């Protein structure tokens, strides 16, 4: 028997395997003879990785112990694995894995071909982590999450199979560094062994000026060699350590609201105006690292009435990693490092910036391909040739805009505006490429459209956009110009492709206007050979017509 910790006891019937942290004391006791070497090797490998690395890892690793456990509710025999995505200091260092409804467990199960059971009702693909009625769950069937958790825990407690527990994600933090540069710690060690917190009238505690930043001969921090600082009245001694850099990273965003204030960390009204942070972009390791402590600090300040917001960040986005051309992380040892300075020198900073945004979804890892940047540079060059001739003279002109090109423009403004908000930068750039293609097809150099195009491309290629902006007569900086707007009616196609069915079976499609009448739609449909053949010698009994969507002819 061993204890596992779970925040979702309602999904216990979906637990198809168990996972122990590599450091779990049971690992050596339950591992079978056949698996001993493989387990020992994996434990050794995991011991060389930090908790932060283990939590941030995208690829799941693990090894089977050769042992099994009985699920106390389903009575199913489940294999016990060890994996380093389970940490010893979280819960009990052991989890019940529910791959149908947990992303990490799902990835692990798929990699090692372990069974996956759906216990939450949903039409969504697995893993499904939303709300749903419990299924395949015995006495919990039909219950929703909250009621299911309560009933599962009540049953476990009643049958003496487990107990309730509160588990905090915030863990103790090593909060000192043996260096000079850092916030001094406002604690005094008194002769009787007690610790004295500095009173408010002795704050802020500032670093003394020092000539030597090196540790003492005894290995003490640099502040230990400053008697006037270290020695405190009454025989006390200040702490010679300073706070880590993470201390500043727990509240720097508040300082940004009032960076020149010499009397306070920040002005109350300034933080009220600027906070909370709209968007925080960082690697996934930040989520389980300093962002947890940033939230803790902010909540303490909120409870003290010093800030007006309970949460410091409104939205968090993780960026993917630009991989080497071989699809692996860039490293000198692999010899796959791409020097951005070389790319900038050959293609320009803006082309490099646009290409990185165009490589793929913002949050996904993407392999670098130097050949691909040529296409992006050609895209920018095509815009340039619409604006300037080979001598650098402006050649854009005022001209009539074809209706179809006008529609493409408004669709592009809408698409780019929405995609930037959702950080789908690659598809925003694709939309601009389509617009440029259509401009060339129209064989014109429309100043009004190029001017808007300069605004749309500005977030990705600011220097390039500024040149184009002024080339078409834009005033001031393009980055300060009002963002273009679109007409909703021009983003909807006049004609759409509509499917034609006969007795519910798809027979083809027709191009129709949104206001095409039923009679005209039927006439167009009969021109399709497959439809005409299906109607041959048959009587039309009923017509199901949804303009612009579907035409279904029911015949007998």
- Token look-up 């519910």 returns 504
Decide if pLDDT at 51 tops 90.
no
Q: Which of 199, 224, 246 is the last residue of a domain?
A: 246
Residue-wise pLDDT for 68-100, tens only, equals: 999 999 999 999 999 999 999 878 899 999 999
Quick one: which H or E segment has residue 146? helix 145-158
Contact (Cβ atoms closer than 8 angstroms) between residue 481 and residue 457: no
- Token look-up 């499609």 returns 509
Q: Which of 25-29, 232-236, 417-421 has the lowest mean pLDDT?
A: 232-236
Asked if 75 and 198 sit in the same domain, the reply is no
Mean pLDDT, rounded, for 328-347:
90
The pLDDT, as a whole number, for residue 26 is: 95
* Encoded tokens for 9: 């006891």
* Encoded tokens for 418: 């929405």
> Is 234 in a helix, a strand, or coil?
helix
Confidence class for position 550, pLDDT limits 50, 70, 90: very high
Asked if 75 and 145 sit in the same domain, the reply is yes
The pLDDT, as a whole number, for residue 114 is: 96
- Whether residue 167 lies inside any domain: the answer is no
- What backbone torsions phi and psi does residue 97 show, to the nearest 5 degrees? -90, 125
The pLDDT, as a whole number, for residue 173 is: 78
Mean pLDDT, rounded, for 458-472:
98
Neighbouring residues of 471: CB distance < 8 A, sequence distance ≥ 6: 387, 388, 394, 396, 450
Domain count across the chain: 5
Asked if 482 and 414 sit in the same domain, the reply is yes
DSSP H helices, 65-143, are 103-112
What percentage of the chain carries pLDDT values higher than 70? 100
DSSP H helices, 249-369, are 252-255, 268-274, 284-287, 290-303, 340-347, 349-358
The pLDDT, as a whole number, for residue 192 is: 92
Asked if 392 and 507 sit in the same domain, the reply is no
- Whether residue 354 lies inside any domain: the answer is yes
Confidence class for position 53, pLDDT limits 50, 70, 90: confident
The pLDDT, as a whole number, for residue 30 is: 95
Measured distance CA(174)–CA(373) in Å, rounded: 45
| pTM score | 0.65
Asked if 380 and 457 sit in the same domain, the reply is yes
Decide if pLDDT at 494 tops 80.
no
> Is 77 in a helix, a strand, or coil?
strand
Measured distance CA(20)–CA(39) in Å, rounded: 12
Residue of 104, 114, 98, 105 lying closest to 152 (CA atoms): 98
Angle 120-123-126 (CA atoms, 0-180°, nearest 5)? 65
Q: How far is CA 264 from CA 244, 260, 268, 437, 463, in A?
A: 21, 9, 9, 55, 38
Asked if 476 and 506 sit in the same domain, the reply is no
Side-chain-facing half-sphere of 472: CA atoms under 13 Å: 25
Asked if 13 and 152 sit in the same domain, the reply is yes
Asked if 401 and 472 sit in the same domain, the reply is yes
Mean pLDDT, rounded, for 104-133:
89
Asked if 436 and 403 sit in the same domain, the reply is yes
Domain span holding position 504: 495-555
- Whether residue 350 lies inside any domain: the answer is yes
The pLDDT, as a whole number, for residue 463 is: 98
The pLDDT, as a whole number, for residue 168 is: 74
Higher pLDDT, 327 or 434: 434
Report the mean per-residue pLDDT for the chain.
92
Mean pLDDT, rounded, for 507-523:
89
Measured distance CA(403)–CA(261) in Å, rounded: 55
- Measured from the Cβ of residue 484, the count of other Cβ atoms closer than 10 Å reads 17
Beta-bridge partner residues of 77: 70
Asked if 152 and 242 sit in the same domain, the reply is no
Confidence class for position 380, pLDDT limits 50, 70, 90: very high
Q: Which of 488, 511, 545 is the last residue of a domain?
A: 488
Decide if pLDDT at 130 tops 90.
no
Q: Output the 3-class SS for 491-553.
A: HCCCEEEEEEEECCEEEEEEEEECCCCHHHHHHHHCCCHHHHHHHCCCCEEEEEEECCCEEEE
Measured distance CA(108)–CA(79) in Å, rounded: 13
Contact (Cβ atoms closer than 8 angstroms) between residue 275 and residue 266: no
Asked if 505 and 483 sit in the same domain, the reply is no
- Whether residue 335 lies inside any domain: the answer is no
- Whether residue 174 lies inside any domain: the answer is no
Asked if 500 and 422 sit in the same domain, the reply is no
Measured distance CA(328)–CA(223) in Å, rounded: 44
């Amino acid at each position: 028997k061993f204890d596992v910790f779970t925040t979702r006891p309602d999904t216990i019937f979906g637990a198809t395997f168990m996972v122990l942290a590599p450091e779990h004391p049971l690992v050596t006791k339950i591992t079978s003879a056949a698996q001993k070497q493989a387990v020992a090797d994996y434990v050794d490998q995991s011991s060389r990785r930090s908790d932060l690395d283990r939590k941030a890892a995208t690829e799941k690793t693990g090894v089977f112990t050769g042992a099994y456990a009985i699920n106390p509710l389903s009575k199913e025999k489940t294999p016990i694995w060890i994996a380093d995505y389970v940490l010893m200091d979280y819960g009990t260092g052991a989890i019940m894995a529910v791959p149908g409804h947990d992303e990490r467990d799902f990835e692990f199960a798929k990699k090692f071909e372990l069974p996956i059971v759906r216990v939450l009702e949903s039409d969504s693909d697995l893993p499904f982590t939303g709300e749903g009625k419990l299924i395949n769950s015995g006495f919990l069937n039909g219950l929703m999450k909250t009621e299911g958790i309560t009933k599962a825990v009540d049953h476990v407690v009643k049958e003496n199979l487990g107990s309730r527990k509160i588990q905090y994600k915030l863990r103790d933090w090593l909060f000192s560094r043996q260096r000079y540069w850092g916030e001094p710690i406002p604690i005094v060690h008194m002769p009787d062994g007690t610790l004295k917190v500095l009173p408010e009238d002795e704050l802020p505690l500032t670093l003394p000026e020092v000539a030597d930043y090196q540790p003492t001969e005894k290995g003490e921090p640099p502040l230990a060699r400053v008697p006037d600082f270290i020695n405190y009245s009454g025989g006390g001694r200040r702490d010679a350590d300073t706070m880590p850099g993470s201390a500043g990273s727990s509240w720097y965003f508040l300082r940004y609201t009032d960076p020149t204030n010499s009397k306070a960390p920040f002005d109350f009204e300034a933080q009220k105006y600027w906070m909370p942070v709209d968007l925080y972009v960082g690697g996934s390791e930040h989520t389980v690292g300093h962002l947890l402590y940033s939230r803790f600090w902010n909540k303490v300040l909120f409870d003290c009435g010093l800030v007006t917001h309970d949460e410091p960040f409104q939205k968090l986005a993780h960026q993917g990693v630009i991989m080497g051309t071989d699809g692996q992380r860039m490293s000198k040892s692999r010899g796959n490092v791409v020097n951005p300075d070389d790319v900038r020198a050959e293609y320009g900073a803006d082309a490099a910036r646009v290409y990185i945004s165009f490589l793929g979804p913002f949050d996904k890892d993407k392999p670098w391909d130097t050949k691909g940047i040529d296409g992006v540079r050609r895209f920018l060059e095509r815009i340039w040739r619409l604006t300037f001739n080979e001598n650098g003279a402006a050649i854009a002109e005022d001209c009539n805009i074809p209706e179809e090109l006008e529609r493409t423009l408004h669709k592009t403004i809408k698409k780019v505006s929405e995609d930037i908000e959702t950080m789908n930068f690659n598809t925003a750039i694709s939309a601009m490429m389509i617009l440029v293609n259509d401009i060339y097809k129209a064989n014109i150099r429309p100043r009004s459209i190029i001017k808007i195009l300069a605004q749309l491309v500005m977030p990705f290629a600011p220097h390039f956009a500024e040149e184009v902006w002024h080339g078409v007569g834009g005033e001031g900086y393009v980055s300060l110009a009002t963002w273009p707007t679109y007409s909703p009616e021009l983003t909807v196609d006049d004609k759409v492709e509509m499917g034609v069915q006969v007795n519910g079976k798809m027979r083809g499609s027709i191009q129709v206007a949104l206001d095409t009448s039923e009679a005209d739609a039927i006439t167009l449909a009969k021109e399709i050979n497959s439809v005409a053949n299906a109607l041959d010698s048959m009587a039309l009994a009923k017509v199901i017509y949804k303009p612009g969507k579907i035409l279904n002819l029911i015949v007998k």
